[in-house]
Chain A
């Protein structure tokens, strides 16, 4: 039955598209824009317009019928409002960047797409929150407060409490504070891990590129073998072994995880830095420096590193995303960052049952999505920035 409605709607849209093109041709005196428009494109315009109309109509639906909340409408409103708010904030941020700061940064902001401005804004916010988590958070991350399962939203009528704007979890810890401390733990650990991976992979890669010979062969083959095992699987295997071997106190598990993920990800960094380094090592200025009698450290740090800066920085962003997602996934599976440390992956797993209440209590279902959304927001932001940087440095215009 639903299928028939969908089919009928599609046929109506096809007809509308035909009328739209015909009408456009008639109204504009057969301008090339309408004359050369393929039917598929006309259909695309009509479909987009229909979707837009439907969203506006759906947005202004009443949020409840006879006292029963209509969860679909509420979630849709939140999504749209969130999207518009972020877009507006990014726009304002870009305006701010265009008018404040040095000449160089102003120029940078002028050429920046909105997505990249959004990414930079989110990264700055996350950095501030994670550094000053102890100051911002209203409660401690391990602090068990009196009441458990307070509904997010702070509305006492539906089980909220204005003192805990995002509610509390099953054992009564404030979700807002845990989200803020989660930023510190998850982002901080991911950042440290990425730095370690870069230190290890980058230095070995440059060494392999400059020295060559058997060292290069040895390292490259070892990296090939390590890369043949999927990263998440390998990390899980190694963490199992490490915990079975040296005890499973929670701080130990975290240390293992940092080291293991750093090693696994350093193989990818090694590949890139070796490839970049090999391109640089054959340049004339390296030859000149060698003839001058410069030592290996000078060659690597003063000649090669500045020239490999752009690809390595982009790789750092991407690598950070991967590491961050791996850590979040591991924590979600229960083998990553261990409680009582607050962490977004663990929070998603702990709160995930609440999503089943979404149909009749939309506020309750928000809790697990908040933590998962916090992860997604940061990775999306970093990816936007990296995408823009790559686009800018490659000079792709087509």
Chain B
């Protein structure tokens, strides 16, 4: 439902512009024939509602249209037939989406365990020097822009100590270990950007619970502080932790844009930025829809997971 509304917003935002789109993309020197050809090809001669439903039904069938760069070429050189040697938006997006998901997966695999462990540790040793140092460093990591973290990592891990390559140009058919090495720097950058937030939330969620009577009880029984936190506090703090993890995973998928540009990683974010620069509207539209879909799906997953993790919500009276 939300996704439907979002698709309407994206479409309206793109189409509610005055003037003719075909002329806008061809510029001043466009011949009338070229404008007509583009208009035909993009279906701009139909009214907006028809076009929206065409786009939506196409999107549901997995057909997101033809990139403007291709359409422009076809329009100028007379090849009106869509199909033969014209790649579609989906052809462009699918391999890049896979790369982005791989990157997001790697960084999630590093950052989630790290964040939860650090969160538990800081909650355990709260108000010590360790906790304060972690607090300051995570706050700095949250607030630095991604490209700053990225360049500092490049400086130390790629240029000064050549451990990882600074450009992660992966391509299909690469060995997994090689691929992993090349993905490592962008993944580490994203890890640094999201771990801090998750860790702080884990710490706050656990500390919030420490005043509850059952924690007092566990302490009075003589359990060790570690056991109190891991066995008694953590399961009850799961719901907020899961929510913040899902939100940060959503950020992983959408926040990759800058990181991918820095490391020239062939993911969907890079495609998105390139399309924005050349104003390739169908690709931008499609990328936007995909990003929004991932974002909404992860939020939904968070809601479902936090219900599953809480028996009180699982069995409503």
Residues in A lying within 8 Å of B, measured CB to CB? 38, 41, 44, 48, 71-72, 75, 115, 224-226, 228-230, 232-234, 236-241, 243-245, 321, 325, 328-329, 332-335, 348, 352, 355-356, 358-359, 365, 368-369, 372-373, 375-376, 379-380, 382-384, 387, 398
Contacts and interface: CB of A to CB of B under 8 A. Distances in A.
Contacts of A333: 257-258, 261, 273, 276
Nearest to A41: B125
Interface in B20-57: 21, 24-25
A387 B155 contact: no
Contacts of B106: none
11 contacts: A38-B224, A228-B2, A233-B254, A233-B291, A236-B273, A240-B281, A244-B21, A321-B143, A376-B143, A376-B145, A376-B148
Nearest to B207: A398
Interface of B is mostly: helix
A388 B8 CA distance: 42
B280 to A, nearest CB: 9
B5 A329 contact: no
B279 A398 contact: no
A89 to B, nearest CB: 16
Nearest to A44: B130
Interface residues of B, number: 64
A241 B279 CA distance: 8
Interface of B: 2-3, 5-6, 9-10, 13-14, 17-19, 21, 24-25, 125-126, 130, 136, 139-140, 142-148, 151-152, 154-156, 159-161, 166, 207, 210-211, 224, 226, 250-251, 254-255, 257-258, 261-262, 272-273, 275-277, 279, 281, 284-285, 287-288, 291-292, 295-296
Interface of A is mostly: helix
Nearest to A368: B151
Contact of A229 (B140, B151, B291): B291
A13 B277 CA distance: 53
A38 B257 CA distance: 44
Given A359-B159, A383-B139, 8 more contacts: A71-B159, A226-B9, A240-B279, A329-B257, A358-B159, A369-B155, A372-B145, A375-B145
Contact of A328 (B145, B155, B276): B145
B5 to A, nearest CB: 5
A348 B147 contact: yes
B288 A372 contact: no
